[in-house]
Amino acid sequence: MRLILLGPPGAGKGTQAKRLMERDGIPQLSTGDMLRAAVKAETPIGLKAKDIMARGDLVPDDVVVRIVEDRITEPDCGNGFILDGFPRTVAQAEALETMLAAHGLELDAVVELKVDEEALAARVENRARESGEAVRDDDTVEALKHRMSVYRAQTAPLIDHYAHTGKLVAVDGMQEIDAVSAQIEGILGKVRNGAVGAAG
């Protein structure tokens, strides 16, 4: 099962990806987590990404594309993966298509988490407050506003992009976490039966 979780910052992509990983044993590939690990380890990529991420801007496409390509070719991705936070631009989506084709792979579904933006701002502010010392550099009100505008300008166009493939399925991300998971599991059931992605 090869899935993309799409949605604005704070929509719950990470939470849902972790649950899918636990339930279905499919690895979660979060470019945000991978980049934060690189920042922490002060690798060359991390040093390049640190300030960009703190501002809420996007790390250059070629950097994240390379990270993803390295990761999806690892053995644990043999049965699929859940992409969380990638692709974030149309260029990344195109690079993903090229790399999947090069490895003889296809996407199964793109799950869009639909959420209310005002509720999101509150969620992310809470996350910043509750996490105590481990507050993310980009979980400030200012950076969040910027991440939202970056999402609208650069990532939201992917919804149209994937709508044309017949693989896009929307989920109401404002429900309780369990209800969102249940809806996603229902979609995965349909994907397994061939009822999603038939047009793509």
Give dist(CA 134, CA 191) in Å, integer: 37
Query: Which residues, numbered 87-106, are part of the site for ligand ADP (CB under 6 A)?
Result: 88, 92
Decide if 152 is catalytic.
no
Which residues, including other chains, have CB under 8 Å from residue 128's CB and lie 6 or more apart? 135, 136, 139, 140
Give dist(CA 92, CA 62) in Å, integer: 8
Q: Is 86 in the site for ligand ADP (CB under 6 A)?
A: yes
Decide if 136 is catalytic.
yes
Report the residue number, 56 or 173, with the smaller CB distance to ligand ADP. 56
In the chain, alpha helices (H): 13-24, 31-40, 44-55, 61-72, 90-102, 117-130, 141-150, 157-163, 177-192
Decide if 88 is catalytic.
yes
Minimum distance from residue 108 beta carbon to ligand ADP (Å)? 19
- Which candidate in 19, 36, 50, 88 is catalytic? 88
Minimum distance from residue 178 beta carbon to ligand ADP (Å)? 21
Q: Is 12 in the site for ligand ADP (CB under 6 A)?
A: no
Q: Is 64 in the site for ligand ADP (CB under 6 A)?
A: yes
Tell me the C-alpha to C-alpha distance, in Å, between residue 17 and each of 11, 41, 45, 74.
12, 24, 24, 18
User: Which residue numbers are catalytic?
Assistant: 13, 88, 127, 136, 147
| Residue ranges that bind ligand ADP, judged by CB under 6 A | 9-10, 31-32, 35, 52-53, 56-59, 64, 85-86, 88, 92, 138, 147
